[in-house]
Structure 1
């Protein structure tokens, strides 16, 4: 596993997580739900990429806006990566 690729993914995950928090905290943002779902989709795609990089099994589900079932898979992926020393 390339440490620079790992670092780049961690930085990108951190930036998207920061953007999600910014969207959540700004009730005046125009089309807030749209922005949130777009960033969430990008975050989920990066999580899957990070899991693949570390050899973890992932569900390659197509992006579906507004589905809550993905929350459980996202949480599992975040925990698995954290257990392997990832932080973002």
Structure 2
């Protein structure tokens, strides 16, 4: 007797939502580079931490949307992911065709 298993497939994410996330990730990455390279930014460290936190939270949202494992707890506004976790999430998304 042959068994067939019906796997429940997740519906594909809305392409416009995906595009909006990718666009926002690109904007935040550009802003991070700008803050890093411009020594005259007012409150530079605070601005960098705020942008990095927003980037990390959006990266987690992108992972959730793409069905990738991300750390279980969502980031609060004042938290940032570690560099290793951030790199893992970026590489996972890139390997699935995401670009920003």
TM-score, length-scaled by structure 1:
0.90
Map 1:33-44 onto structure 2 (within 5 A): 33-44=45-56
1:67-86 to structure 2, matched below 5 A, reads 70-86=82-98
Aligned counterpart in structure 1 of residue 41 of structure 2, from 26, 29, 32: 29
Q: Residues 62-81 of structure 1, C-alpha deviation per residue, up to 9 Å, x if partnerless? A: 4455x7x7110000000000
| Greater per-residue helix proportion | 1
What do residues 14-50 of structure 1 show as CA deviations (whole Å, max 9, x unaligned)? 0000100110010011110100000000000000000
Distance 1:21 1:83, change over 3 A: same
Structure 2 gaps of 5+ residues are 1-12
Change (3 A) 1:19 1:57: same
TM-score by length of structure 2 reads: 0.80
Answer whether contact 2:60 2:74 (CA < 8 A) is retained.
no
Residue of structure 2 in register with 1:5 after alignment: 17
Which structure carries more relative contact order (alpha carbon 8 Å, separation 6+)? 1
**Please, which runs of 5 or more residues in structure 1 have no aligned partner?**
none
Computing the radius of gyration from Cα coordinates, the structure with the larger value is 2
